[in-house]
A and B are shown apart, each in its own frame.
Chain A
Amino acid sequence: MKSKTLFDKIWDNHVVRSIEDGPDVLYIDRHYIHEVTSPQAFNGLKERGIPVFRPGKTIATADHNIPTKDQHLPIRDQLSRTQVERLSENCQKYGIELFGLNHPKNGIVHVIGPELGYTLPGMTIVCGDSHTSTHGAFGTIAFGIGTSEVEMVLATQCIIQPKPKKMRITLDGELHKGVTSKDIIMYIISEISTSGATGYFVEYCGSAIRSLTMESRMTICNMSIEMGARGGLIAPDETTFEYLRKLPSIPGIGDLNSSINDWKKLISDPDAFFDNDLKFDAGLIKPMITYGTNPGMGMAIDDSIPLSDENGNKASSSFLKSLDYMGFKPGMKLLGHPVDYVFMGSCTNGRIEDFRAFAEIISGRRKADNITALIVPGSKKVEEQMIAEGLINLYKSAGFEVRQPGCSSCLAMNEDKIPQGKYVISTSNRNFEGRQGPGARTMLASPLTAAAAAITGRITDPREFMTEENKVKK
């Protein structure tokens, strides 16, 4: 039999039918939906007069536009309220499980899927959200889709997709202290650009990837889309299985050990073919920060902004427009630059491990007066865990207010907007113009770098906080 990559194995196992000279009809095991990209899909079903084909395979949450304060009160913004109410109506009408606003298991779709045991190795997973790639950390084919495709999945549990090419990214070597998985993925994107993996599905391999926790792996897979990839995945291993064993329950799995034995087969064959094969050295990675308006415009925090764009073009209008928006100049150093806001959260860095990392730096210190901080857990369960571990109190005594879960300032659909012209160090995934509010100036970074800036009020290398007495684990 022909050697296959992990991606091939999962994809081929889900092809219902191949269209001649065309795409494949791909069966979807798990479909996540939320309030913003689903209403038009349900309208489509209604117009056709058809039901949801397999309602048990779709899971819903409200996360994108919900407020992160006073969630027990009615949503003030009328349009947002309508979307959230419409989601509840649709879920009730079609028999879809909903972890909506105020549900004890509510949270960001890519945070709750894994923590509730709905994301499992070998699955195909889609959601009307590009960061669906997060779930690839479990050895799944997971990718974002548009609303027309959401409608296809609701109607038939299938979508029509051309099979992407395959890329392998191997990361070997030892990570330095203060370097997190967020820095890893920001480094890779800065090396290959925001379109470097367009048309590909990525498999992450190598000793430095293997050493990461599930939370850290999710951060890496989450940002695969920021280099253009359809998604990214990591072969399941003992770390994955240990994560699953610790979950309180896994819906639909009777005998976990027997499933784990099957999932152990989910690896690329040793001689499988990849269309593109890239290698990086983990030892070269430092804490990263972005200086421009796309995630590819990133650099080591102690570096200077390049003098030209990725093609060496000094006068590139896109490059200069981007720096102009940020209020930066080519060649500038960012260390010490004042910061106004810090956003800690999102589907990229809104998990318990991220809040622990942030806490290790702010513990026993005080938030800088010039900083407004938005601290937003990724889910109710993360919030619960923060309470149980004493983190909420630790944050409070350092001068930080912890909000209620949601996507919040990552895309600023709710009121958590960064004001015009203000600088924000954000643990989220996109630094596009206006992404966090009209005119907002976003610099992406890890939770450690965000915490360091929150304490000093300036762009600060988090390694400065890492003395022997105050070691921060990755």
Chain B
Amino acid sequence: MPKVKFDILESTCVPLPFENVDTDQIIPARFLSAISRQGFGDNLFRDWRYTKAGEKNSEFVMNNPDYAGKVLVAGKNFGSGSSREHAVWAIFDYGFRAVVSSFFADIFMNNALNNGLLPIVISDDLLKKLLSLVQNNPDTKVKIDLEKQTFTILSTGDSVKFGINPYKKECLIKGLDDIDFLLSIKSQIINYENNKSLLQ
């Protein structure tokens, strides 16, 4: 999978102030019948973005021309449910490069990191503040510096350090791929197979 490099991102945000947004909302199952990774952005949040009649739902934030940007800010426990990587492909394909929340589901987090989409965990309080800032002023900008692991709200100067696994950080910065790494240690894998016991 071709990887994109991630270093510094400065962008406005799209707010999604709901908790427990599951992957069925991000991309409903009926849009999973594809055999490539492309094009899922069209159906991102499909059932919130469009009415039952298939028209744009003007109340949904992604249809509000005031809001744009490469950073999605979402309520607690984002990405729960199904393991479908299509959810990450859809978010990335739509144009987002980072998702900010106070809590992510595990599989979603792994899938995001494997596709160059940076999940950033901030505190509940800061998330609340950020959501309210963005909702009141769509021009609110944030800056993400992956090397320094800092997340900054530019208008207020709120700046926090975010966590990321050092291995995954290096992969994102250099655009490296897990499979290249695994292929490079194949002799070690074969060695493991030869020496494996049922139990230790």
Contact = CB atoms under 8 A, between A and B. Distances in A.
A104 interface: no
A56 to B, nearest CB: 12
B183 A130 contact: no
Contact of B80 (A228, A413, A439): A228
Interface string B5-30: 00000000000011110101100111
Counting chain A CB atoms within 10 Å of each CB, the highest count among B36, B82, B197 belongs to B82
Contacts of B155: none
Given A265-B199, A318-B19, A25 B25 contact: no
Interface in B134-178: 165-168, 178
Given A228-B106, A321-B18, A152 B33 contact: no
Contact of B24 (A148, A151, A164, A432): A432
Given A37-B84, A155-B182, A228-B106, A194 B20 contact: yes
B47 A433 contact: yes
Interface in A390-420: 411-413, 420
Contacts of B192: 16, 27
B29 A148 contact: no
A146 B85 contact: yes
Given A130-B83, A148-B114, A420-B52, A432 B178 contact: no
A228 B181 CA distance: 29
A432 B110 CA distance: 22
A73 interface: no
A82 interface: yes
A105 to B, nearest CB: 24
A261 to B, nearest CB: 10
A13 interface: yes
A413 B199 contact: no
Nearest to B103: A195
A86 B167 CA distance: 34
A222 B158 CA distance: 42
Given A149-B114, A162-B165, A122 B198 contact: yes
A342 to B, nearest CB: 20
Contacts, number: 197
Contacts of B1: 44, 148, 151
Given A19-B167, A22-B166, A434-B24, A83 B81 contact: no
B188 interface: yes
B199 A155 contact: no
Contacts of A446: none
A152 B107 contact: no
B19 to A, nearest CB: 4
A318 B199 contact: no
Contacts of B179: 44, 48, 151-152, 155-156
Contact of A294 (B22, B76, B186, B193): B22
A228 B105 contact: yes
A146 B88 contact: yes
Contacts of B182: 25, 152, 155-156, 158, 160
A50 interface: yes
A317 B17 contact: yes
Interface string A111-135: 0000000000010000011101000
B75 interface: yes
Counting chain A CB atoms within 10 Å of each CB, the highest count among B165, B166, B178, B183 belongs to B178
Interface in A45-85: 48, 50, 53, 64-65, 77, 79-80, 82-83
B43 interface: no
B183 A262 contact: no
B57 interface: no
Contacts of B32: 36, 64-65, 413
A28 B169 CA distance: 24
A321 to B, nearest CB: 7
A146 B33 contact: no
A18 to B, nearest CB: 10
Given A148-B114, A265-B199, A413-B32, A158 B84 contact: no
B106 A21 contact: no
Given A17-B185, A317-B18, A413-B30, A129 B165 contact: no
Given A148-B1, A434-B25, A439-B52, A294 B196 contact: no
Contact of A16 (B28, B115, B188, B200): B188
B189 A266 contact: no
A351 interface: no
Interface in B113-128: 114-115
A39 interface: yes
B33 A130 contact: no
Counting chain B CB atoms within 10 Å of each CB, the highest count among A9, A159, A198, A432 belongs to A432
A86 to B, nearest CB: 5
Given A22-B168, A130-B82, A226-B81, 6 more contacts: A22-B165, A36-B84, A50-B183, A129-B83, A144-B83, A162-B165
Of all A-B residue pairs in the complex, the 7 with the closest CB atoms, nearest first, are A22-B167, A79-B33, A146-B85, A144-B83, A146-B111, A39-B35, A148-B114
9 contacts: A13-B199, A16-B188, A23-B167, A122-B198, A146-B88, A160-B178, A266-B199, A318-B20, A432-B22
Interface of B: 1, 17-20, 22, 24-25, 28-30, 32-37, 47, 52, 75-77, 80-86, 88, 103, 105-107, 110-111, 114-115, 165-168, 178-179, 181-183, 185-186, 188-189, 192-193, 196-200
